[in-house]
Amino acid sequence: MVVDDNPDHLLICTIVFQKKGYRVKGLPGCKEEGELLEAVERFRPDLVFVDHNMPGLCGADLVKLLKRTPSSANIPVVYFTSEADIESLAKEAGADGYCRKPFEIADLLATVERYAA
């Protein structure tokens, strides 16, 4: 699952992941906590990428929500941003890892393989 308010990022990730045989669900940000939890419950992802800067709930809020909800607490979450301090942002949010934007396709796929295996 990829949560990102940028439609270009959602499209690129969807194409790249589908070409590698992954099921992908793109979510263009969240205005309410229930929106993310419902999508996770229906889709049951093995991995969630979460963008940092989004209108509505920011990435840190979404990561914290996933990690404190029993049904999603064990799903690996990768923080996804172009912010310079991505490592500290990911750690502060409670993410399992991070992937810097702009990304190289090989790095994106290596991140999926690292956390979704």
User: Cα(71)–Cα(31) distance, rounded to whole angstroms?
Assistant: 20
pTM of the model: 0.95
pLDDT at 82: 92
Between the CA of residue 9 and those of 3, 18, 67, 71, what are the distances in Å? 9, 14, 24, 27
User: Cα(74)–Cα(7) distance, rounded to whole angstroms?
Assistant: 27
pLDDT tens digit string along 34-63? 999 999 999 999 999 999 999 989 999 999
pLDDT tens digit string along 66-99? 999 999 999 999 999 999 999 999 999 999 999 9
Residue 65 has pLDDT above 80, yes or no: yes
CATH 3.40.190.170 fits 2-116, yes or no: no
Residues 6+ apart with CB under 8 A from 29: 3, 4, 5, 51, 54, 55, 56, 57
pLDDT at 20: 96
User: Cα(30)–Cα(100) distance, rounded to whole angstroms?
Assistant: 21
Residue 2 has pLDDT above 90, yes or no: yes
Banded model confidence at residue 116, pLDDT cuts 50, 70, 90: confident
Residue 117 has pLDDT above 90, yes or no: no
